[in-house]
Structure 1
Amino acid sequence: MVQTIRIEGEARELAGKGAARATRRTGRVPAVIYGAKQEATLLSLDPRDVMKELQKGGWQSHLYEVDVAGRTERCLMREVQFHPVKDNPMHVDFQRLAPGQMIRVKVPVVFLNEENAPGVKEGGVVNVVRRDLEVLSDPDQVPDQFEIDLSTSSIGDSLRWSDVMDQKGTKPVITGRDFVVATIAAPTVEEEVVIAAPVAPPPEAKGKGKGKK
């Protein structure tokens, strides 16, 4: 299930670059919550809270409950703008979730029984094309991972979206084709290259080119 994180925000009244600069001068990060056919909510955040989330990784797949003046907004963190030199957060965009709305997330793929795969036993290699699968999911039912069983996979086989053991009610963002997630590639054979030693030129005949005395 998707991780839900609570963040405390402070309301701000004015929009625009000047107002955002004024917010930064107070040591806070300007932010906005938009979407769900509602008016945008302007707020500011503690930069330490923002950096804490960014350092976790996978923040675009986390569900946030942002509290602004006692009102909680359920949303996703969609974009973070950084200072070009200092690399600290300058602005945060949140997308508000409407009731019943599916969210777009990336879910990691785990390959089971790799050591038992016939293709691997024959020397083949699992070539991972997509380590994460981007899907649409119910925000309360986001899977921690997808699993693909390799126990019957041979060299030359392709593992596709249809091979995911339990898709858990999600829909892939890639539509119209059963896309490849991984393949069992044949072992690489390296040809031995023999470099011949240079052949020394024959010794020059004694007295060659010289007149008889």
Structure 2
Amino acid sequence: MLQIDMTARVRKTVGKGAARTMRRAGNTPAVIYGPLGAPVSLECNTKDLTQGLLSIHRKNAFINLEIDEDGKKITKHVITREIQTDPIQDNVLHADFYEVSMDAPMEFKVPLKYLGKAKGVDLGGDMTILKNKITVSGKLLDIPDLIEVDVTPLGRGAALTCKELGLSSGVTLVTAPDAVCVSISAAAE
């Protein structure tokens, strides 16, 4: 799973006026919450936050968030829950981070990348992709960025199910095992 490093500071002031002042100074308000501790109000550098969020946009990723609290630095592992943006200026207005445990399994949707050209397609069949993503469960560091699927050996009338994908150790399939990911239709005679 992709991971990036970011920094934040604990903010002392809360409320609408304080948030506006913070944004004018080039910072973005944020909050971190989750089952591992009480919610904490944060402020992040807007430019660094935007660059970090764009680098993980639409990817399974977690953030090593280094929080500065009166000179004491604490690192927490978080995932993004919600990012609020200004629809006109496209600025980040607020970020919600969810603290996660590195040892507890979690569910993620992982994209499938199909490689090669199936033998059945060369023989006149049509390839139909039925799943672009599957749901898997595992610890954060065990979850793959994507799963590559080689379709080259598939002949006419063949299908590849989720249980045949070959997941790495520590990762379990949540999607129905008999669900078809890709199939090759037999050519009409």
**Fold equivalence (TM over 0.5):** yes
Which residue is 1:7 aligned to?
A: 6
Asked whether 1:83 is paired with 2:106, we answer: no
Asked whether 1:104 is paired with 2:103, we answer: no
Q: CA deviation at 1:167?
A: 4.3
Q: Is the contact between residue 33 and residue 93 of structure 1 (CA under 8 Å) also seen in structure 2? A: yes
User: Within 2, Cα distance between the matches of 1:106 and 1:65?
Assistant: 21
Which residue is 2:171 aligned to?
A: 170
Q: Deviations over 1:112-168 (max 9, x none)?
A: 4x33x3311212233223333332221122223323343442334332211202344
Q: CA deviation at 1:173?
A: 4.4
| Distance 1:153-1:9 versus aligned 2 partners, 3 A rule | same
User: Within 2, Cα distance between the matches of 1:83 and 1:158?
Assistant: 45
Q: Which has the larger radius of gyration?
A: 1
**Aligned residue identity for 2:113:** V
Q: Is the contact between residue 146 and residue 167 of structure 1 (CA under 8 Å) also seen in structure 2? A: no
Q: Is the contact between residue 4 and residue 52 of structure 2 (CA under 8 Å) also seen in structure 1? A: no
Structure 2: gaps of 5 or more residues: none
Identical aligned residues as a percent: 28
Q: CA deviation at 1:26?
A: 2.3
Q: How many residues align?
A: 185
Structure 1: gaps of 5 or more residues: 189-213
SS in 2 for 1:178: coil
Q: Tell me the TM-score normalized by structure 2.
A: 0.81
User: Within 2, Cα distance between the matches of 1:15 and 1:137?
Assistant: 36
| Distance 1:111-1:101 versus aligned 2 partners, 3 A rule | same
Which residue is 2:63 aligned to?
A: 64
Which residue is 1:154 aligned to?
A: 155
The structure whose residues are more often strand, as a share, is 2
**Counterpart mapping for 1:196-211 below 5 A:** none
| Distance 1:60-1:152 versus aligned 2 partners, 3 A rule | closer
Q: CA deviation at 1:53?
A: 2.3
Q: With CA pairs under 8 Å and 6+ residues apart, which has the higher RCO, 1 or 2?
A: 2
**Aligned residue identity for 1:86:** Q
Q: Tell me the TM-score normalized by structure 1.
A: 0.73
